[in-house]
Amino acid sequence: MTEKEKSHAGLLYQPGDPALAADRDVTVQKLYDYNRLHPLDREARQAAIRGLLGKVGENCVVEQPLFCTYGYNTTVGDNFFLNVNGKLMDSGKITIGNNVFIAPNVCIVTEEHAMDTERRLAGLEYTHPVTIGDNVWICTGAIVLPGVTIGADSVVGAGSVVTKDIPPHSLAVGNPCRVIRSV
């Protein structure tokens, strides 16, 4: 298996692999170009996002600046909005549904380092996919950790740290994030 295949399979892999490093270099250039586009040049921004992310639905708005690891591991549905300072740490898959609104300074992470010191010092890590269902709103400053699924029609409160799955139709808040009621 390649290091990329190991990553997508949730196996311990080496992110310093030359092929992955080359992919990240391409992404860094695409992000540099995207983040320097004029904010009102909507056509150029739309074309750049389609060239950066793995799949982009209709009516997709991604405000600048944007940060991501690869871009191609992230897919977003229709009517997607990501506000300023979005961070998509997508060494693993990030799948986002339709009608999802993500507020400023939200970070979605798929990577985690090895727990044992020897492997961690060797630079090894795992990825765990993140899935966000349809009609979700993630409020300002939330952090979504590896392996989490946020169910459809849910709201994640500002500043929340999402460490576990959030069921559909839930309002979840806090650190760690927990469901406080149905919506």
Q: What is the DSSP string of the chain?
A: --HHHHHHTT--B-TT-HHHHHHHHHHHHHHHHHHTS-TT-HHHHHHHHHHHSSEE-SS-EEPSSEEES-STTEEE-SS-EE-TTEEEE-SS-EEE-SS-EE-TT-EEE-EEE-SSHHHHHTT-EEE--EEE-TT-EE-TT-EE-TT-EE-TT-EE-TT-EE-S-B-SSEEEETTTTEEEEE-
Q: Find the catalytic residue in 8, 38, 113, 128.
A: 113
pLDDT, tens only, 34-61: 999 999 999 999 999 999 999 999 999 9
pLDDT, tens only, 72-104: 999 999 999 999 999 999 999 999 999 999 999
Predicted TM-score of the model (pTM): 0.96
pLDDT, tens only, 110-164: 999 989 999 999 999 999 999 999 999 999 999 999 999 999 999 999 999 999 9
For the question of residue 113 being annotated catalytic, the response is yes
